[in-house]
Amino acid sequence: MYKVSEIAPDVYRISVFVKEYNLQFNHFLIRDEEPLLYHAGMRLMFPEVLAAVRELLDPASIRWIGFSHFEMDECGALNEWLQIAPQAQAVCSDICGIINMADYAIRPARLLPAPERLQTGKYAYRLIATPHVPHGWDASVLFEETNKTLLCSDLFHQNGNCAAITDHDILGAHRQSMLEYEKGPLLEYTPYSPNTAKLLQTLAELQPKTLAVMHGSSFMGNCAQALLDLDGVMKELWGQPGYSTLKAGPQLVA
């Protein structure tokens, strides 16, 4: 069953909790002259997310569908949305457009290189390319400039059926969730590279007011500091040289 919550002005979080995974899958619908849906979601979840969207607006009016990277919960149902909304286009990074959307999407995607803005009415968006953060060469995030909402995909992932939004610490829950994943097949969630800290610093400099998180609670506290502190957590988990003590057994890491 889905749950709809307004986490920022005109930003609606559509959350589907999957008990078997102990995980929320969050989709964000921004109401404007040209509505934008961030995260197309999985194809199997499409009927449920579609029902939630119908509570907020006519799905056929959706104009833009954004996502971070090519993954089933990010854009698996993209073509289903493109068929429901005849004027809709995917909006993504250059790399994603070249290596994924050129063949996957049933209509051409709108590529949004810097410094271009996407104007949807009263709101404007910037796409920030973030290769391999959280993961994938094609990764990016989308920043809504008026209300300063950062649609940040898998960054700050938290397991569990979490509150829609919080001003309390989410880094502790994120770290614990990643430690749980290190014990199973979903280990090494995010590659840590020399560019990771620089990319998170770039996002912090945007001074977002809300972090719209795909898995777990969104955040409305000191977002810039949370992004800077996220680097420390990621470096601890995945960036230390030598033998990692965080995994189930000793493993040599670069």
pLDDT in tens, 39-92: 999 999 999 999 999 999 999 999 999 999 999 999 999 999 999 999 999 999
Task: Note the pLDDT of residue 162.
Answer: 98
Long-range contacts of 229-232 (CB under 8 A, 24+ apart): 229/171, 230/155, 230/156, 230/171, 230/174, 230/200, 231/196, 231/197, 231/200, 231/201
Tokens of 61: 């009016």
Could you tell me where the DSSP H helices lie in the chain?
46-56, 72-75, 78-84, 94-96, 102-104, 171-181, 196-204, 223-234
Q: How far apart (Å, rounded) are the C-alpha atoms in residues 150 and 133?
A: 14
Q: How far apart (Å, rounded) are the C-alpha atoms in residues 184 and 135?
A: 18
The rounded mean pLDDT for the chain is 95
Above 80 in pLDDT, residue 20?
yes
Class (C level, CATH) for 2-241: alpha beta
Task: Note the pLDDT of residue 240.
Answer: 79
Q: Which of 90-94, 111-115, 179-183, 249-253 has the lowest mean pLDDT?
A: 249-253
pLDDT in tens, 159-193: 999 999 999 999 999 999 999 999 999 999 999 99
Reported pTM = 0.94
Residue 241: band (very low, low, confident or very high) from pLDDT cuts 50, 70, 90: low
Task: Note the pLDDT of residue 179.
Answer: 98
